[in-house]
């Protein structure tokens, strides 16, 4: 087979890149090692930046998001029982975030993919990128016991943190930066009305909690747990009990509990590789960087990587601007590092580090400092709604 761009990974990064390229007439094939049903079963992000919404519009896939997604102008931060409202829209000159599940975004993108008629292979085994330093890269994989080869111009590594693309880059090329936190997030999804219209980020003596949602009737809650905690130890009752314990009193009283639709633990880490490209292989999204979810940035950074590569490849094919290819990593990493820093900062300020050290007191003081005036809250708000995408000239 032959295509212009071989895309490895059918998560939001791979699907969105494929859709944007297809609309520019740039041919692409998507490969994933699991089934579409498996991908849609993963419950992940929920807070979408405006830049991402605009990109979904450009891709022609924002219709349901605009209809069903909730626009949020505020976010609450509750510290030891006291609420602090961050008025995102006032503080940022009119910006907001959209609450719309990653699962729904993936669904919309998969539907659009099917309509576009472009090829996708799911449950593809042994996917391997080859010869990315040459001008004739190719990808091999197996499907139903048969070997396949895709010759292409470029390879997009959209295959997440555990994917093959980053790992196929020879040793010594990449520098890895990593921090693992001593806790994870235990998340629970339920068909219960959310405790509050706005999201509430909670700092309590027992640790962090987050009240989020997917719609007016579906809630997503998280509580911080030690890294070695097992989900089997958490019955739904135990989860609700602990959550109530951490919420401000009025919210605890309002909380409607119910059976979990999904419950899982995600470890928290910050991770970045530099550079995000090797020859004709480009890394996007979780394949190149992971952030702790406290700033709601993971999926949004994936979208900004897609934006950069999409604009570069469009200029390459339409205007012959091959000079831009070498700049992908540099442009992308500038925004990635801002997201990594913001996510690290929010994580530090809001979590319990189980250490009772001077750092804990300093983290408390820092949070109180940044919540104390509009001028300081603006610093948080500007980053939460998302920094602008860089122009590619």
Interacting residue ranges for ligand RFL, rule: CB under 6 A: 8-14, 31-34, 39, 44-47, 102, 127, 158-160, 162-164, 185, 187, 266, 285-286, 293, 296-300, 302
Peptide bond into 231 cis (omega under 30): no
Q: Give the x-and-dash track for 155-194 against ligand PHB (CB under 6 A).
A: ----------------------------------------
220 touches which of ligand PHB, ligand RFL, none (CB within 5 to 8 A by kind)? ligand PHB
Cα distances (angstroms) measured from residue 12 to each of 29, 102, 260, 263: 15, 8, 25, 21
Footprint of ligand PHB on residues 249-278 (CB under 6 A)?
A: none
CA angle 13, 300, 251 (to 5 degrees): 130
| Burial environment of residue 154 by CB neighbours within 10 A (0 to 12, 13 to 18, 19 or more) | buried
DSSP, res 175: E
294 touches which of ligand RFL, ligand PHB, none (CB within 5 to 8 A by kind)? ligand PHB
Residue number, 317 or 342, with CB nearest to ligand PHB: 342
Task: Give min distance, CB of 143 to ligand PHB, in A.
Answer: 33
DSSP, res 390: P
Active site (annotated) includes residue 72? yes
Please report whether residue 45 would count as binding ligand PHB according to CB under 6 A: yes
Q: How many C-beta atoms surround the C-beta of residue 27 within 10 A?
A: 15
Distance CA 137, CA 116 (A): 25
Active site (annotated) includes residue 354? no
Active site (annotated) includes residue 193? no
Please report whether residue 294 would count as binding ligand PHB according to CB under 6 A: yes
- Location of structure tokens 């509430």: 200
Which of these segments, 41-49, 88-96, 137-145, 265-273, binds ligand PHB (CB under 6 A)?
Answer: 41-49
Question: Is the distance from CB of 385 to CB of 75 less than 8 angstroms?
Answer: no
Tell which one of 160, 293, 339, 386 touches ligand PHB (CB under 6 A).
293
293, 310, 317, 389: the active-site residue: 293
Please report whether residue 339 would count as binding ligand PHB according to CB under 6 A: no
Residue number, 154 or 222, with CB nearest to ligand PHB: 222
159 touches which of ligand PHB, ligand RFL, none (CB within 5 to 8 A by kind)? ligand RFL
Please report whether residue 12 would count as binding ligand PHB according to CB under 6 A: no
203 touches which of ligand RFL, ligand PHB, none (CB within 5 to 8 A by kind)? none
Distance CA 95, CA 210 (A): 22
Active site (annotated) includes residue 201? yes
User: Which residue stretches of the chain are H helix?
Assistant: 12-23, 36-40, 50-58, 63-68, 88-91, 102-116, 236-246, 249-254, 298-319, 328-350, 358-371, 374-385
297, 310, 352, 389: the active-site residue: 297
Distance CA 329, CA 199 (A): 33
Tokens of 117: 């008629």
Produce one character per residue of 292-326: b if its CB has 16 or more CB atoms within 10 Å, e if not.
bbbbbbbbbbbbbbbbbbbbbbbbbbeeebeebbe
Question: Is the distance from CB of 270 to CB of 290 less than 8 angstroms?
Answer: yes
Tokens of 135: 């001008």
Active site (annotated) includes residue 293? yes
Tell which one of 29, 77, 272, 296 touches ligand PHB (CB under 6 A).
296
Please report whether residue 46 would count as binding ligand PHB according to CB under 6 A: yes
Identify each DSSP E strand in 53-137 by its residue range.
Answer: 70-72, 74-79, 82-87, 97-99, 120-121, 125-130
Please report whether residue 75 would count as binding ligand PHB according to CB under 6 A: no
Task: Give min distance, CB of 210 to ligand PHB, in A.
Answer: 6
Residue number, 59 or 164, with CB nearest to ligand RFL: 164
CA angle 224, 355, 383 (to 5 degrees): 55
Please report whether residue 47 would count as binding ligand PHB according to CB under 6 A: yes
Q: Give the x-and-dash track for 211-240 against ligand PHB (CB under 6 A).
A: -x-------x--------------------
Tokens of 228: 């070695």
Residue number, 46 or 386, with CB nearest to ligand PHB: 46
Which are the catalytic amino acids? 72, 201, 293, 297, 384
What residues make contact with ligand PHB under the rule CB under 6 A?
45-47, 210, 212, 220, 293-294, 296
């Amino acid at each position: 087979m032959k295509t212009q761009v071989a895309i490895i990974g059918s998560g939001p990064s791979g699907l969105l890149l494929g859709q944007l390229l297809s609309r520019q007439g740039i041919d692409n094939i998507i490969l994933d090692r699991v089934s579409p049903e498996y991908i849609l079963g993963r419950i992940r992000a929920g807070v979408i930046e405006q830049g991402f919404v605009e990109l979904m519009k450009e891709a022609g896939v924002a219709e349901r998001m605009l209809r069903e997604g909730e626009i949020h102008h505020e976010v609450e931060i509750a510290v030891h029982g006291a609420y602090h409202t961050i008025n995102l829209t006032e503080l940022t000159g009119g910006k907001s975030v959209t609450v719309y599940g990653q699962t729904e975004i993936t669904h919309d993108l998969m539907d659009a993919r099917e309509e576009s008629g472009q090829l996708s292979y799911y449950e593809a085994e042994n996917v391997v990128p080859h010869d990315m330093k040459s001008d004739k890269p190719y990808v091999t994989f197996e499907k139903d016991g048969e070997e396949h080869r895709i010759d292409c111009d470029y390879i997009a590594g959209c295959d997440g943190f555990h994917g093959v693309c980053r790992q196929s880059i020879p040793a010594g090329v990449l520098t890895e930066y990593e921090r693992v936190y001593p806790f994870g997030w235990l998340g629970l999804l339920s068909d219960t009305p959310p405790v509050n219209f706005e999201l509430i980020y909670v700092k309590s003596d027992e640790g962090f909690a987050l009240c989020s949602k997917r719609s007016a009737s579906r809630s997503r809650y998280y509580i911080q747990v030690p890294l070695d905690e097992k989900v089997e130890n958490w019955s739904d009752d135990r989860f609700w009990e602990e959550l109530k314990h951490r919420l401000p009193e009025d919210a605890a009283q309002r909380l409607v509990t119910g059976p979990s639709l999904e419950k899982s633990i995600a470890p928290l880490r910050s991770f970045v590789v530099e550079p995000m490209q090797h020859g004709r292989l480009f890394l996007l999204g979780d394949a190149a960087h992971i952030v702790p979810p406290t700033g709601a940035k993971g999926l949004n950074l994936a979208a900004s990587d897609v934006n950069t590569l999409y604009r570069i490849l469009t200029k390459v094919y339409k205007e012959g601007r091959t000079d831009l290819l070498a700049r992908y990593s540099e442009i992308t990493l500038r925004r990635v590092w801002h997201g990594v820093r913001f996510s690290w900062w929010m994580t530090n300020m809001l979590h319990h580090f189980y250490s009772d050290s001077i750092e804990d007191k300093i983290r408390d003081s820092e949070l109180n400092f940044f919540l104390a005036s509009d001028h300081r809250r603006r610093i948080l708000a500007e980053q939460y709604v998302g920094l602008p995408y860089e122009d590619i000239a």
